[in-house]
Structure 1
């Protein structure tokens, strides 16, 4: 895996160079979105309470207060601790927001109002501000007051009800899908709002919630349900609208995918398995036929695929361009040849813990290539630096540190 030094890529060559982001989000969705903005060159200031956000403590793999989860979603940014329950802390925040381009808030709506960090309050400080409010369910409505998280987003948005084995219990996706879909939507919305500001000269409020993101994932089946009135139910590893399009098991017990997205692939598959007569079987002629007769189709395919190893099937299918691939476990992803070729995983260098892997920036800008630019910061690592840049004097910084409104984990304190 390639190695990236901390914040070494020249920022003036990156698309979001000069954009300052004040990140007040926590856990997964907001922090990961802010990290991607940092990958693109934005100066992201992560603001946490003096004790750190709660997900610094979800595991102890890098020590207490430096969880692996936190390290995974908080790269390419600087850390400032700030006690927003103290008037001095709010004064610091206001001074930062007055000179910021983007502000990300990730609390329940009532907490946002109670802290005085709502759009109405922050927008008065800076009419150029792109203010982003990330919530679980929305800023108003019957669930707006409820605590929200990835699991609830998947459940209420219908994703869990679509996932799992046929007639089995609902299954959560193995990754925090609601959170990370929210991350990508938030990043997309922010760059869109910045472009709008380029055009009209004004900032605006952006609202993203986890529930809407999960509903957006239903794009291919909402209309299907409306037309058929037949609700889609879990298909295991299969697809409710396409067949064969699922995992099968080779004779060596290893799983692999066969994905016949159209009838041309199906015709090729019938030849690979030496059953060309299936192409004319009225149960399987079209995709709609195969979906309607999925059980009968699998009764034929499963024992055939069990007759040879997975590697053998993948080679044969690839030779005739039938979409296929292995079903990797997590540990296999690191050595998957295409992942290695794409540099999909990279490494960051932490000054204490050394190198650790993170997903690389998942999009390629070939003229202004972006990449992770720095390890997840220590709590308050850049507090003094950021306050100095914001115009705070030596005495002001010392007073904030003495009162613990601001803390620092570095030795870089005012002389």
Structure 2
């Protein structure tokens, strides 16, 4: 049994944030039906690199789904969609604000067809506010949220995160909000309209950065690989490459001093507390670096683990997938598709004692399941 068995999702979304969210629902057992224009409407299909003609970007957000094509701007397509809505539980879309209403498919219309329907709308800026009708892609959201201002090296330019973090975090909120709405529906027998904004999500994720500013006026700066509030908590060079060491507590710092052979640092007035260590972070980092450069990363990791001090190699992507911990967790999956062969992917991180997530199908071809849904009924 799967948690979302018998839950049907009509997925009108494109690119990453909403499709990744619907993929998580599919992993949990929901029937997710991608609905695209007959000519294709997801630009992610055009982003390389490609495997057997299929975008690897598209592949990362669309497993366990079905695909049909409808022209929602035509009266026939709108009518077929409304027929599907009758038996659906969830609609997910990331059209620009107002586009669903222009097509006669807004929530007020759909809930008359199916009062139990949960409609999740994902946009860059939400359904209200002066930017409601503006497009918002991930890098734009990273820039506007302030995240880029605190990411990068002090002497470098503001830097975006190396993955589409606004999209990724929003995909999680897609799932959280839908699961909450399903729970509410269990109690009220009524659906919900969910208004998710990428900017809202990313600004709510600023965590300690936003709390520091809002409550004390403290403006965090770009610190490279250092921490805004804790020291030593950064990357140190070893004889064979970079190593992240995080001595986040006074106890861990004392252990680190002992490990490095400098117990006198424990009573050094510059390093007695985290606040003092942060104040003298530059000199402390330099002192530690002079020692870490003397050994390899693996040598240091073995000792740091013995002292229970958090640490880890700064891996390349290739090294990350080769590390024993990833392999031991059995996180690498593979699905066979008749058109583009074997597709490898990172499995869902959800590991329950009573749940075995099934990876039943590779990301579908455009309109692959048209024949299955020709009659417009989900039954």
TM-score of the two chains, using structure 1 as the length reference: 0.88
User: Could you tell me which residue of structure 2 aligns to residue 55 of structure 1?
Assistant: 44
Within the alignment, does 1:182 sit opposite 2:145 as a pair?
A: no
Within the alignment, does 1:312 sit opposite 2:299 as a pair?
A: yes
Distance (Å, rounded) in 1 between the aligned partners of 2:125 and 2:317: 31
**Segment drifting more, 295-304 vs 375-384:** 295-304
User: Could you tell me which residue of structure 2 aligns to residue 377 of structure 1?
Assistant: 364
1:230: how far off? 2.4
Q: Which of 152, 155, 170 is equivalent to 1:164?
A: 152
Within the alignment, does 1:297 sit opposite 2:278 as a pair?
A: no
Q: Name the count of aligned residue pairs.
A: 378
**Segment drifting more, 34-43 vs 211-220:** 211-220
User: Could you tell me which residue of structure 1 aligns to residue 207 of structure 2?
Assistant: 219
Change (3 A) 1:267 1:363: same
1:28: how far off? 0.1
Within the alignment, does 1:279 sit opposite 2:271 as a pair?
A: no
Within the alignment, does 1:43 sit opposite 2:26 as a pair?
A: no
1:4-43 alignment, distance < 5 Å:
13-43=1-31
Within the alignment, does 1:93 sit opposite 2:81 as a pair?
A: yes
Q: Aligned to 1:339, what secondary structure does the other structure show?
A: helix
Distance (Å, rounded) in 1 between the aligned partners of 2:143 and 2:285: 29
1:55-204 alignment, distance < 5 Å:
55-59=44-48, 61-64=50-53, 66-204=54-192
Distance (Å, rounded) in 1 between the aligned partners of 2:378 and 2:197: 35
1:299: how far off? 1.7
User: Would you say the 8 A contact 1:361–1:371 is kept in 2?
Assistant: no
Q: Which structure 1 segments of 5+ residues have no match?
A: 1-12, 393-415
User: Could you tell me which residue of structure 2 aligns to residue 348 of structure 1?
Assistant: 335
Distance (Å, rounded) in 1 between the aligned partners of 2:163 and 2:37: 27
Distance (Å, rounded) in 2 between the aligned partners of 1:63 and 1:83: 27
| Offset from partner CA, 1:290-345 (integer Å, 9 cap, x none) | 11111111121111111111111111111111111111111112111111111222
Q: Which structure 2 segments of 5+ residues have no match?
A: none
1:60: how far off? 5.6
Runs of 4+ in 1 over 4 A off after TM superposition: none
Q: Aligned to 2:333, what secondary structure does the other structure show?
A: strand
Q: Aligned to 1:283, what secondary structure does the other structure show?
A: coil
- Give RMSD over aligned pairs: 1.5
1:391: how far off? 7.2
| Offset from partner CA, 1:119-166 (integer Å, 9 cap, x none) | 112111100001101111111211112111111111111111110001
User: Would you say the 8 A contact 1:38–1:372 is kept in 2?
Assistant: no
User: Could you tell me which residue of structure 2 aligns to residue 397 of structure 1?
Assistant: none
Change (3 A) 1:273 1:60: closer
